[in-house]
Structure formats: structure tokens, C-alpha cells
Amino acid sequence: MTTEPSALLAPLRIETAADLGPAVRARRREQSLRIDDAASLSGVSVDLLSRLENGKGSVRVDKLLTVLDGLGLALVLGPKDHPWLQSVSRPHAGDPGSS
């Protein structure tokens, strides 16, 4: 797995579960990882990673954090009205993670 800054993903404000999956998929693809390889490296099942990427079903928070860490992503939490969070873009059509 690469530790270089993501070329496809800038910080992204996730507001729904549906926003998260495409961002995770984009990061996995950016690293040229097949879903089974990414799941194995993260220690989760292919089914779990597929459900996460497709926004189907629920995923435990500990498993989500494991996948994010395995793909070199971080979950950042803060007040909605914080200036930095206000500057983080929301996903919309045309963003790399929204297809």
C-alpha cells in the first residue's frame, strides 16, 4: 500500500453513508488494489468491503476504521461550524469519489 498523498481524494466531508463508499472505492482503486486484496490487507471480508463501498447494509465502526487505516485514510471529527470543516468540500457529481 502506498503512503503518498492521494492524487484523487482531497479531504471530503461525509454527510451520509452513501458518501463514504465511493470515497473508499476511489482510494482502493487509486492504489491499484483489487477488492479481495484490499480486504485481505485490512483483515476484513470481501463481503464487508463490498457492502461498505456500495453503501449496502451496515458496517461496524471498528471495521470501518480498520478499512480506512488499511487504505491510508483517516476519519476526522469536529464541530460542523469549525472553519476548517466548512472549507472541506462535500461530494457531488463529477468528484472522483462520487462515480
Which sign does the torsion angle of CA 90, 95, 96, 98 carry?
A: positive
DSSP-based three-state secondary structure for 52: helix
pLDDT band at 91 (very low <50, low <70, confident <90, very high): low
Predicted confidence (pLDDT) per residue in 16-74, tens digit: 888 899 999 999 999 999 999 999 999 999 999 999 999 887 899 999 999 999 999 99
Q: Return phi, psi of residue 57, to 5°.
A: 70, -175
Distance of CA 91 to the CA centre of its chain: 12
Phi/psi at 7 (nearest 5 deg)? -80, -25
The confidence score (pLDDT) of residue 82 equals: 81
pLDDT: which is higher, 52 or 5: 52
Homologous superfamily assigned to 17-94: lambda repressor-like DNA-binding domains (1.10.260.40)
pLDDT at 44: 97
In this prediction, residue 83 carries a pLDDT of 84
H-run or E-run covering 40 = helix 35-42
